[in-house]
Amino acid sequence: MTGTMTNTGLPDVAEIRGLKVRFATDGEPVDAVKGIDIQAHAGEVLAIVGESGSGKTVTANALLGLLPETATMSGAVIVRGRGGETDVVHATPAKLRAMRGRDAAMVFQEPSTALNPVYTVGWQIAEGLRAHHEGRLSKKEAKAKAVEILRKVGIPDPDKRVDDFPHQFSGGQKQRIVIAMALVLNAGLIIADEPTTALDVTVQAEILELLRACRDEFGATIVLITHNMGVVADLADRVVVMLRGDIVEQAPVGELFANPRQEYTRELLAAVPHVGQGKSALADSTAEGAAGAPPEGSLIVAQACEIGYPGRFGRGGVVAVKGIDFHVGPGEVVGLVGESGSGKTTIGRAVVGLTTVVGGSLRVLGQEMNGVKQRQLAPLRPEIGFVFQDPATSFNPLLSIAECIAEPLVVHGRATSGAAARARVDELLDAVRLPTSFGDRYPHELSGGQRQRASLARALALDPKLLIADEPTSALDVSVQAKVLDLFVQLQAELGFASLFISHDLAVIDAVSDRIIVLRQGRIQEQGTTAQVLNDPSSSYTKELLAALPVPDPVEQAERRALWQAVRRGA
């Protein structure tokens, strides 16, 4: 069977026909993909969307033959490129190695794990060139090509940076380097697996511009794997929606967003947080929100606060947060927003005594943190809960969920053992809408959203007055994220705790926060009520953050992209 011809007269760059993928497990086999058909047309961006477990990443990995040995594939997976046609399902290992990089390349979700930390980025880019040119390319020529591709993907000073190691680049720059590795052999098909999930909105917007250039300037076809419908609206030409290994629907991007045919697609679109649909739409924009005198009983009061890290080997320390003033009042949720490196997490860690206050004043529950001794922090510990960004790494994998949640109760003497605390644990599981039977499971047996609910239960175990939430939903699918945010708002209203909610996503902040503080490079750019900051921002940086945030509407997103580009030019 020959490849399907597109309206451009070119055959499809990739074609999947009747693909089934089954994984062998210790128990029953798992059918991850159940007989799907997908075509990636020449020169288009095809988005494959769905929740975790929908089969989208398995489908992407099948295109490159990257499935583990436990997987069994059937059907046809055809990739077409300069080397002709490759049937991935039946290809030999040598044929697959020749196809990868030359005809199809992968941009992985986490560039830090995709890059080898012991080799320079130039060496890693040149490695693909050497592998496919079989020694016909000299080291000098390979390095020159690496410098050229780094320049094309927007790495500054590529002649010098080509000899740097991955840890010397920011997250956004590392993602650019991974894209450079995919482009260096001029592959016709680029598979981008969640390429912006871990990035700030401004960096995300830059990476989306680069992927758009891959299509428009390099002529690549892009298969985009994502759960972010705003990213789909910004970049995709056509969308495939997957659920539990099946295709629910597929359509051109404008048609899918304007008139989704299936209920699941409508739910997916409705779950996307949108600035203007949260507390900014309800709050009084004239209300007092600036950093005036802290109200009576404020749980956090910072005045000219400086937070830093000590130097090593005789070097001077680093002041990460520089002279900030803010407060968190009783029962108030304050959103802390900014890019990576702005100082958000540093402030959250300083509140619980994990980072040093080196200047000014930071009072937490009446305790001055500048010069505080560890023994002085002991009475504060039960009063402060902490929800971590990644619950998978914050839970002990050897303990059951019930034992993890009970741990604060046992440590602080509220219960003699995990078993004695089980009644309280069941109450907490019920509060976060998890079945009490989940207490007997282990962390790896829960989904990401379920683990984050359990993490919230653990943070609330001691009835804290203050909750620090550090990017608690950034790793979750939009539908799961929406449920966790709704749960947070309900619990905060019921229990009345105050919270410092840290995020780089203004739409998430809008869903939960009464007031917003915008940080950049350790300094506050502006602060006010949610309505003030989001509806009438005074700082150009806040305007850039808002313009960079993609929305799930292709027409509106095109206008916002133009606005973001204008804001950047004026900055």
Structure confidence by residue, pLDDT tens digits, 207-219:
888 889 888 888 8
Exposed, middle or buried by CB within 10 Å (0-12, 13-18, 19+), for 303?
Answer: middle
Q: What is the DSSP string of 204-218?
A: HHHHHHHHHHHHHTT
At residue 362, the pLDDT reads 95
Task: List pLDDT tens digits, range 56-87.
Answer: 989 999 999 988 888 899 999 999 988 788 99
pLDDT band at 272 (very low <50, low <70, confident <90, very high): confident
Domain of 167 in residue numbering reads as 110-186
User: Hunting for tokens 């359990």 — which residue is that?
Assistant: 454
Positive or negative, the CA dihedral 91, 94, 95, 97 is positive
State the total domains in the chain.
Answer: 2
At residue 288, the pLDDT reads 52
511: left (phi > 0), else alpha (psi -120 to 50), else beta?
alpha
Is the pLDDT at 425 greater than 60? The verdict is yes
- CA neighbours closer than 13 Å in the CB half-sphere of residue 131: 17
pLDDT band at 283 (very low <50, low <70, confident <90, very high): low
d(CA 439, CA 454): 9
Q: What is the tally of helices (H) and strands (E) in the chain?
A: 22, 20
At residue 313, the pLDDT reads 64
Give the mean pLDDT of 237-245.
93
Domain boundary pick from 155, 186, 217: 186
- Residue 289 and residue 152 share a domain: no
% the chain with pLDDT above 90: 46
SS3 17: strand
Domain boundary pick from 148, 171, 186: 186
- Residue 312 and residue 178 share a domain: no
At residue 286, the pLDDT reads 47
User: Hunting for tokens 């969920």 — which residue is that?
Assistant: 401
Q: Yes or no: say if 342 and 520 are a contact pair by the CB < 8 Å rule.
A: yes
Is the pLDDT at 295 greater than 60? The verdict is yes
d(CA 183, CA 102): 9
- Residue 302 and residue 179 share a domain: no
Exposed, middle or buried by CB within 10 Å (0-12, 13-18, 19+), for 444?
Answer: exposed
Is the pLDDT at 198 greater than 70? The verdict is no
- Nearest Cα neighbor of 388 from 314, 462, 476, 305 is 476
pTM: 0.79
Average pLDDT, the chain: 87
- Residue 287 and residue 171 share a domain: no
Is the pLDDT at 350 greater than 60? The verdict is yes
d(CA 181, CA 145): 11
**471 in a structural domain:** yes
**473 in a structural domain:** yes
d(CA 29, CA 488): 36
Q: Yes or no: say if 517 and 484 are a contact pair by the CB < 8 Å rule.
A: no
Indicate the angle between helix axes 139-152 and 121-133, nearest 10 degrees.
120
- Residue 479 and residue 348 share a domain: yes
d(CA 553, CA 123): 41
Give the angle 442-403-444 at the CA atoms, nearest 5°: 15
- Residue 472 and residue 360 share a domain: yes
CB count in 10 Å sphere of residue 412: 13
**169 in a structural domain:** yes
Q: Yes or no: say if 339 and 397 are a contact pair by the CB < 8 Å rule.
A: no
- Whole-angstrom CA distances from 52 to 362, 434, 528 are 40, 18, 36
- Residue 530 and residue 385 share a domain: yes
- Residue 523 and residue 389 share a domain: yes
d(CA 494, CA 181): 51
**312 in a structural domain:** yes
Positive or negative, the CA dihedral 457, 458, 461, 463 is negative
- Whole-angstrom CA distances from 120 to 115, 129, 135, 138, 207 are 9, 15, 20, 17, 22
**504 in a structural domain:** yes
Residues 6+ apart with CB under 8 A from 311: 317, 318
User: Hunting for tokens 């005594």 — which residue is that?
Assistant: 353
Give the mean pLDDT of 399-415.
93
- Residue 287 and residue 141 share a domain: no
Is the pLDDT at 450 greater than 50? The verdict is yes
Farthest CA pair distance, the chain = 76
**66 in a structural domain:** no
- Residue 493 and residue 386 share a domain: yes
- Residue 373 and residue 509 share a domain: yes
At residue 9, the pLDDT reads 55
**46 in a structural domain:** no
Element (H, E) at 245: none
At residue 138, the pLDDT reads 83
Which CATH number covers residue 337?
Answer: 3.40.50.300
Is the pLDDT at 415 greater than 80? The verdict is yes
pLDDT band at 38 (very low <50, low <70, confident <90, very high): very high
pLDDT band at 2 (very low <50, low <70, confident <90, very high): very low
At residue 309, the pLDDT reads 82
CB count in 10 Å sphere of residue 261: 12
Residues 6+ apart with CB under 8 A from 74: 18, 19, 20, 89
**451 in a structural domain:** no
What length does the chain have? 571
Give the mean pLDDT of 417-434.
92
pLDDT band at 221 (very low <50, low <70, confident <90, very high): very high
- Residue 289 and residue 144 share a domain: no
Buried b (16+ CB within 10 A) or exposed e, 552-562: bbbeebeebbe
Pick 301 or 292 by higher pLDDT. Answer: 301
Domain boundary pick from 164, 186, 208: 186
